[in-house]
Amino acid sequence: MNKYLGHASQIRGAEEHILKGGKGDGMRLLNVRNGKGLDITVSLDRAADISRLSYKGINMGYFAPCGYVAPSYYNGDFLKSFTAGFFTTCGLTTVGTPTHDNGEDLPLHGTISNIPAEKVNCKETDDGLEIYAEIAEASLFGRKMTLKRTYFISYEKNEITLSDEIVNDGGAEEPVMVLYHCNMGYPLLSENSEVVIPNSKILPRNEDAAKGISDSLKMEKPQKGYVEQCFYYDVNEKDGFANAGIYSPDENVGVVLSFDKKGLDYFTEWKMMGETEYVLGLEPGNCTPDGRSVLRERGELKFLAPGESYKTLLKFKFFNERDDFLNNF
């Protein structure tokens, strides 16, 4: 017991709130503070993704023009409900470009991010807060997939660990695709930001990206009419994890994404330098965002047999000092 405190929430902990008004009316939001500078909003009604995140009072993520949009407004048009936030989960059986595959018309980035979480539980220890949630993507006569999500938010370091398990609860083999759409925004992101993605290979997604590949890690000022660019990396590993990150010398804050390549063997950089659409996506996944039919044709599509599960591990580490940030690479 800390004798200086009247209640632990004076400095840290989790509080659930209900959003009022607009298209987000009624959404459950879990606000978490770790007492060392992290202020996190877990959007429980949107797959328990992280919608807002600030570090030492500095905003780190990008919030899209649509703002908070409750799942009831989702009609298959992903972009009209894509809050973006610090990260959005894409999947579970399709990621990326809308496509027709194996008799199905598949929407942009799948539907998992528009499904509310169930069985939400918070467990606090002396060294951190564990949050557990389940998100079921299931239907009668259809596939039955469950995302079992666990966060550990440290009280001792400015770190978040995200452990996901995707389970095929159905009776048929199913594709499994997942991508963490991590969206860096102003003021963390500016033309002065330093982006680090150590890699052994980089490929442009299309001709527009090919034109900008030499400046893939160079951030720019917001521009009218900017055409997005995507790059695919084979990210180098250090101490068993692949690492990518961004640091702002203007704000003296940075974040490193560390991910286990056993489950997340692809990495996409989404560079979007448009006016008001100013965002850098750092996106580990088990696929590229080219669409399921393309992955199937390439022989890169992964599958889960009935009862099988697929596990991923991703860490977010936050820094003030540039040297501490760079020591991760």
Domain that holds residue 283: 8-326
**2 assigned to some structural domain:** no
Burial class (CB in 10 A: 0-12, 13-18, 19+), 30: buried
Per-residue pLDDT reduced to its tens digit, 87-119:
999 999 999 999 999 999 999 999 999 999 999
**1 assigned to some structural domain:** no
**Following DSSP, what letter does each residue of 8-25 receive, concatenated?**
GGGTSEEEEEE--SGGGT
**259 assigned to some structural domain:** yes
**290 assigned to some structural domain:** yes
Task: Give the distance, in angstroms, between the CA of residue 148 and the centroid of all CA atoms in the same chain.
Answer: 15
**235 assigned to some structural domain:** yes
User: Tell me, what CATH number does 67's domain have?
Assistant: 2.70.98.10
Confidence of residue 2 (pLDDT cuts 50, 70, 90): confident
Q: How many domains does the chain have?
A: 1
**97 assigned to some structural domain:** yes
Per-residue pLDDT reduced to its tens digit, 151-209:
999 999 999 999 999 999 999 999 999 999 999 999 999 999 999 999 999 999 999 99
**311 assigned to some structural domain:** yes
305, 168 in Cβ contact below 8 A? yes
The torsion region of residue 43 among left (phi > 0), alpha (psi -120 to 50) and beta comes to: beta
Whether residue 282 is preceded by a cis peptide bond, meaning omega within 30 degrees of 0, is no
**277 assigned to some structural domain:** yes
